[in-house]
Amino acid sequence: MGILRRFKDIMASNVNAVIHRDEKNPEKAIEKYLAQLRSDLGQVKAEAAALQAEYNRAERAFFDNQSEADKMKRYIAKAQENNDMSSVRIYENKLAAIETEGTRLNEKYASAKQDMDNLKAMNEKLSTDAATLEGKLSEIKAKISAAESVQSMNKIANKAGAADTNEMFNRMNEQADYMMDRANAMAELDVSQEQRELADLEELESKYDNDGPIDLF
């Protein structure tokens, strides 16, 4: 099967080497390799499904052959007990044929089992490598997003006449402090004006109370 021919290459591949393959554009290199990993994983799963039926048949045929050989051995032993040498020779000939077929079936079963084991190993390797690369890709994308945000903020800062975002935020803080101080000062002025007006009114009322009512006519 196709993917099994690449077993040694796949198992020998180093995912860390892929991460550092293209320092200028690691995101692109990882995405490309991830696509290959996912394709290989799809082939592994497809071939495993196809091979499973063949493996089951090889296993069943091998153990059926073993059961048939054990049966012939019992027949031989029984014939020997009865001193039936003619039957012994017949059963021995059948046993020889069964054992010859058993050798072939055993090789086929062992080969199918090895293929299944190799596919399982490749599935685990590819899945682990894919998870590693997906994690690294997420990390790189997060860094790129953060860098783009910083660049965007720096552009805003430059338009505002600041050297960098820190200076821009400092100016914004200073502006906010100024606005707060101004608002507090205005509030204090309003209170002082109200207090003065109240004091003048109280003084006028006191004067009128002391001088008596004013004759307006």
Would you say 10 and 96 are in contact if contact means Cβ atoms under 8 Å apart? no
pLDDT of residue 17: 75
Token pair of 118 as six digits = 């190799």
How far apart CA 10 and CA 17 sit, in angstroms, is: 13
Question: How buried is residue 109: exposed, middle or buried, by Cβ count under 10 Å (0-12/13-18/19+)?
Answer: buried
pLDDT of residue 190: 60
One digit per residue, the tens of pLDDT, for the chain of length 217 reads: 588 989 998 998 888 777 666 566 777 878 888 898 999 999 999 999 889 999 999 999 999 999 999 999 999 999 999 999 999 999 999 999 999 999 999 999 999 999 999 999 999 999 999 998 888 888 777 777 666 666 665 665 566 555 555 665 566 566 666 677 777 676 666 656 656 666 666 665 565 555 555 443 3
Token pair of 137 as six digits = 């890709």
How far apart CA 125 and CA 90 sit, in angstroms, is: 52
How far apart CA 2 and CA 6 sit, in angstroms, is: 7
pTM confidence score = 0.59
Question: How buried is residue 134: exposed, middle or buried, by Cβ count under 10 Å (0-12/13-18/19+)?
Answer: middle
